[in-house]
Amino acid sequence: MKILIAEDDPHILEGLAEIFQSEGYTTITAGNGADALNLYAQESPDFICLDVMMPEKSGYDVCREIRKTNQKIPVIFISAKSEEIDKVVGLELGADDYITKPFGVKEVAARIRSVTRRYLATSKAEESDTSFVMQDLEIFPNKLRAQRKDDSIDLSLRDIQILIILHQHQGQVIDRNTLFNKIWGLDHMPNSRTLDQHISQLRKKIELDPKNPTIIQTVHGAGYRYEN
């Protein structure tokens, strides 16, 4: 999924981009409301994250313009304006969520996943129950979740992408560079440490014994493999 982030503070913009990218989203960024509208028209993003107070056009104005032609695209406001009336205005304009500054990384990640689940459930309603099984784990891509008996496990978009690739190539070794390029993209420098750290965190979520994984197996010197 591609996300448009509009924020006039470059440090916050960079931080938000890093959070979204770590969750598995492709990001495009704008420093003011006018640029945000231009990028929206050019790039057709799947998701929009807007600061409220920006030069040229406010986040509210950007949302109003977008909602004239697109009622479905998810919109999150992130703003220092924390009064109840500000949140009400944002939600009445059609925003899916409103996060106030300062915010924590975990909070933003959780809100992103929640809005993405609602978007996927709505946009792909006919496929909402589509799932696949990896050993005793059932994965629901459109819900960003996995299920093991009565336990529900929240997953990120990037987690889902990794599991889909391994499942599609069951029994095959996927080398690190191939997996990294498929998930992070060719414009990122291959970094086995980044990949291995993410795999380690994913194992903590889905493996019964993360120290002795059976779903995501390491093939030393080669890459990763899933075998049923």
Q: Show me where the domains of the chain are located.
A: 2-123, 132-225
Dihedral in degrees, nearest 10, Cα atoms 124, 148, 224, 117: 30
* Assigned superfamily of 2-123: Response regulator (3.40.50.2300)
φ and ψ at 140, to 5 degrees? -115, 95
Q: For position 129, what pLDDT does the model report?
A: 58
Report pTM: 0.71
Residue closest to 61 by CA, chosen among 96, 40, 34 = 34
Q: Are 130 and 138 in contact (CB under 8 A)?
A: no
Q: For position 110, what pLDDT does the model report?
A: 86
Q: For position 104, what pLDDT does the model report?
A: 84
Q: For position 126, what pLDDT does the model report?
A: 47
Whether domain 132-225 has CATH 1.10.1040.10:
no
Residues of the chain with pLDDT under 70: 82-84, 86, 121-129, 185-192
Q: For position 128, what pLDDT does the model report?
A: 47
Q: For position 49, what pLDDT does the model report?
A: 93
At 32, which amino acid appears?
N
How would you list the strands of the sheet with 223-225, edge to edge? 174-175, 223-225, 217-219
d(CA 68, CA 47): 16
Q: Are 156 and 109 in contact (CB under 8 A)?
A: yes
